[in-house]
A and B are shown apart, each in its own frame.
Chain A
Amino acid sequence: MSRARRHLTRFPLLLAASACSVLFLGGCDHLHQDMATQPKYRPLSPSDFFRDGRSERPLLENTVARGSLANDEFVIPKDSNAFPLEVDQALLERGQERFTAFCTPCHGLQGDGNGMVALRGMKHPPSYHIDRLREAPNGYFYDVITNGFGQMYSYGVQIPPRDRWAIVAYVRALQLSRDAHVSELPAELREKLSQGDSAK
């Protein structure tokens, strides 16, 4: 067989070999995983080591997590009207943001208990604008957020203590928004209000 002929017969071989190498390269993802899949736990990854299959370990009973002692200052008795933080615009805005994320599904944007999830069939929570809740102390709201009440489960896990107080402050602001007299407003706001009336 001449050399040229041999070359020709090799051609399909070459073709097959390059096709194989393409496939092979494409399969790299499955071949070299040792860096991409390291023997370590990422958040919430399953574990063969622990009996319940969780690498994320649940809190042990009667233990205090590191750093959570700092939250002691936020713990106010249920029947106390104290407020552990300085109330300013920033805190109220934080409270509004947290309230919108965590509370409005049931309590509604205005706190009257007409949130979207309540409309879907949850029991409507009481409006914040009833006398019982207007007169309830600050500690009561903090306690309900922390431990839940009736149909409402506890929100202690989702909302850290400082944010709970921000929400309490915002709920107070909501209550005031429905229970304030025009005469209590600063002069410039009063003027704005009367202008708004005439504009209608």
Chain B
Amino acid sequence: MPQLFHRSANSTARISILAVVILATLGLTAVLGGVRSPNFTNQYLTRDQPIQFSHKHHAGDDGIDCRYCHAGVETSATAGIPPTKTCMNCHSVLFNNVGYLAPVRESYSTNTSIQWVKVHRLADYVYFNHSIHVNKGIGCSTCHGQVNQMPLMFQASTLQMQWCLDCHRDPEKNLREKKDIFNMDWKPAPDQAEKGKLLAAQYNVRSVRDLTSCSTCHR
């Protein structure tokens, strides 16, 4: 009986096995790396907005408190995009004839909404609540980055579940005192480990078991 396989089949088989392993590794790396990359998470991506609003100018240079516009952040799930009237509190007088604010004036006079493009988009199966975070010692800049230095808004974090869990598994490293919640320049102090423990007790932060329970974020 003649040989079924040519002699070269030996090396072909070995190369094939090796190729499958390499390809699988490469493929997995590409997929896992891909979903973590800004291409997929939209991290660091600025959007074209109807008005090129600068947080750096308003929150940074002018020192306006976050809550002046995002007034719902302490009491509701969403921080809220301010109504056009909030813009007009100042811009009825300041820069009230410049072209790039024309959409604001038009929105105010015609009672139509400015269609801002959402920058921080969570999937609809995530039930994120701003107020619980802000009231339990998580400051704005922990998730949003130093907004006071962003001429154009972008998403500073990946907003992926891994990133959420990173804090939910160990919230103490990010807990701040009440007075620092809206402080954009806050950095953890060297004694954050002890401080965090005290603050967690003070705020009654739930156990890691509770914080990492599925239904904490998903209903």
A→B interface (CB under 8 Å): 2-5, 7-8, 11, 14-15, 18, 21-22, 25-26, 29, 35-38, 40, 42-44, 46, 52-54, 100-102, 105, 116-117, 120-123, 151-153, 157-159
Contact = CB atoms under 8 A, between A and B. Distances in A.
B113 to A, nearest CB: 6
B142 to A, nearest CB: 19
A70 to B, nearest CB: 15
B188 interface: no
Contact of B90 (A8, A43, A105): A105
A152 B88 CA distance: 10
A46 B116 CA distance: 10
B30 to A, nearest CB: 5
Given A2-B6, A18-B27, A153-B92, A105 B112 contact: no
B93 A4 contact: no
Given A36-B124, A157-B83, A122 B90 contact: yes
B80 A44 contact: yes
Interface stretch (B57-65, B131-139, B162-170, B207-215): B57-65
Nearest to A46: B115
Given A43-B80, A105-B64, 12 more contacts: A3-B5, A4-B12, A18-B24, A26-B40, A36-B124, A38-B124, A53-B112, A102-B65, A116-B62, A122-B90, A123-B93, A157-B85
Contacts, number: 105
A200 to B, nearest CB: 28
What 8 pairs between A and B have smallest CB-CB spacing? Answer: A101-B65, A36-B123, A4-B9, A38-B124, A43-B78, A158-B71, A101-B67, A22-B27
Contact of B112 (A25, A52, A159): A52
Contact of A4 (B6, B64, B65, B123): B6
B90 A117 contact: yes
15 contacts: A3-B4, A11-B16, A35-B124, A36-B125, A40-B124, A101-B182, A105-B63, A105-B90, A116-B62, A117-B62, A122-B93, A123-B93, A152-B89, A153-B92, A159-B71
Interface residues on B, range: 35 or more
B27 A7 contact: no
Contacts of A25: 31
Contacts of A46: 113, 115
Given A101-B68, A105-B62, A122-B94, A153 B85 contact: yes
Contacts of A40: 124
Nearest to B4: A3
A72 to B, nearest CB: 20
Contacts of B115: 46
A131 B24 CA distance: 80
Contacts of B94: 117, 120-122
Given A36-B124, A158-B71, A22 B30 contact: yes
